Amino acid sequence: MLDLAKILDLKHNIILASASPRRKKLLKQIGLEFKVIAANIDEDDIKENDPAKFVVELANRKALQVAKSNIESIIIGSDTTVYLDGKLLNKPNTEKDAYEMLTNLSGKTHQVYTGVSLVQYQSEKSKEFYVRTDVTFRELGEREKYAYIATGSPMDKAGSYGIQDDFGSVFVEKIVGCYYNIVGFPLARFYKEIRDFNDKL
């Protein structure tokens, strides 16, 4: 089995500061061994509307909170949002929110932003970056939207849809950029960044 820690000669244990099952699955996919310690931060007090700054700020807050009590590990913080027509579309609070998001995304191109923060508290080193992917939806029918919302799947996802493993996959007509970024974690960019980050520790 692939062992990313050996390939990269990682100097520290890895902790994912996120409870996202999708990020956990993606990191395991590339052979990374890590612990999960979900950060507990208030995401509603960030007033930033720039999508890149928003996801990087949240990712950094998550990583720093966990890093302060795990000073020897490399902490990975991450956050994903959907951006359409100047507005951030985060996780819906209600089924009505999910319906409105899907209706607004229908037939349009939106952007998915994921921010990632790497923190190693003991060395006082950190690195933040974000990745953007353009996603085009086909026109969605009313029955499709209601059926999808009824599954509950949209309720824990930015933009109220998931491109992986569920009905949300048939909404997407075209993507430009990293597919895994839409799922919730940009694997290729992360690999490069953690390799360089580890080398500097």
Task: Supply the residues annotated as catalytic.
Answer: 79
Q: Using an 8 Å Cβ cutoff, are 83 and 111 in contact?
A: yes
As beta bridge partners, residue 136 has 109, 174
Give residues with Cβ within 8 angstroms of 103, minimum separation 6.
140, 145
Q: What's the rounded Cα separation, in Å, for the pair 98 and 82?
A: 13
Q: How many CA atoms lie within 13 A of 3 on its CB side?
A: 5
As beta bridge partners, residue 128 has 117
CB-based burial, 29-41: b 16+ in 10 Å, e otherwise: eeebebebbebeb
Q: Which residue has the tokens 């950094």?
A: 60
Residues in the chain: 201
